[in-house]
Amino acid sequence: MEMLSGQVIAITSGKGGVGKSTVSINLALALSRLNKKVGIIDLDIYGFSIPKMLSITSRPKTFNEKIIPVSSHGLTVMSTGFMVRENSPIVWRGPMLGKMIEHFIQDVLWGKMDYILLDMPPGTGDVALDMHHMIPQSKEIIVTTPHDAASHVAERAGTMAKQTNHEILGIIENMSYFSPPNREDEKYFLFGKGGGEKLAQKLETPLLAKLPMAIPNEDGEVSSIFEENTPLFEQYNLLAKKVDAMFAIV
């Protein structure tokens, strides 16, 4: 099987609702701001959300029976969401999931990439098993919240990575706290404390970041992409530099 170029990083979690796709997109964008060529593959096949979060309305084109992925916000993007009409559900059994991963690897013209991020589905199901088998060079970042239940479930994803000999780059604790606008020193720990540290200790891997909760706009909506001059924009820049340094040639 053909290999993806560049460093492949799977962004995974134990359960849904921890902001894994938001982390995937904003880490990819921050890496691209370091002048890296970054691709993102939406492998959350049942719960695909990357096209919507990036406001992509176009679809991939083909060339010589190969797929040309979509470009958006400086990223190269592929998702099952491009292959369904509107918001139709994906109703597939396990073997079809593996074929889709193979399709994304072999039949997409990725070109030369510095990084390809995989937005994984939560848990340790068929997609995670197939990804570990088909993309053995991938490394993993595990996303959790500070809540004890979330970190407890995320430990299973980390254990699976270790059992399949995939390096864990580290843990990202998302939604660590809430700070009111223009009062970053004032922190409210809505989901408790310590989940990220505890998970990092159990998996013997670093805690890469503790990311605050995003602040809704005047309409009560939270953007999927964090803009310049916001605390999360700066946090993701720091996170990208930390991740990129892990692959620097000494």
Q: What is the DSSP letter of 209?
A: E
Q: Model confidence at 203, in pLDDT bands (50, 70, 90)?
A: very high
Q: What is the pLDDT of residue 29?
A: 97
Please give the CATH number for the structural domain made up of 7-246.
3.40.50.300
Q: What is the pLDDT of residue 169?
A: 97
Q: Beta-carbon neighbour count of residue 210 at 10 Å? A: 18
Cβ atoms of 28 and 113 closer than 8 Å? no
Average pLDDT over residues 228-250: 89
Is 1 a residue whose pLDDT tops 50? no
Q: What is the pLDDT of residue 232?
A: 93
Q: Model confidence at 17, in pLDDT bands (50, 70, 90)?
A: confident
State how far the Cα of 85 lies from the Cα of 177, in Å rounded to an integer: 37
**Residue scoring higher pLDDT (33 or 182):** 33
φ/ψ bin of 19: left (φ > 0), alpha (ψ from -120 to 50), beta (otherwise): left
Q: What is the pLDDT of residue 25?
A: 96
- What are the residue boundaries of the structural domains of the chain, listed by start? 7-246
Place of tokens 């503790």: 210
* Phi–psi pair at 105, nearest 5 degrees: -80, -50
Is 145 a residue whose pLDDT tops 90? yes
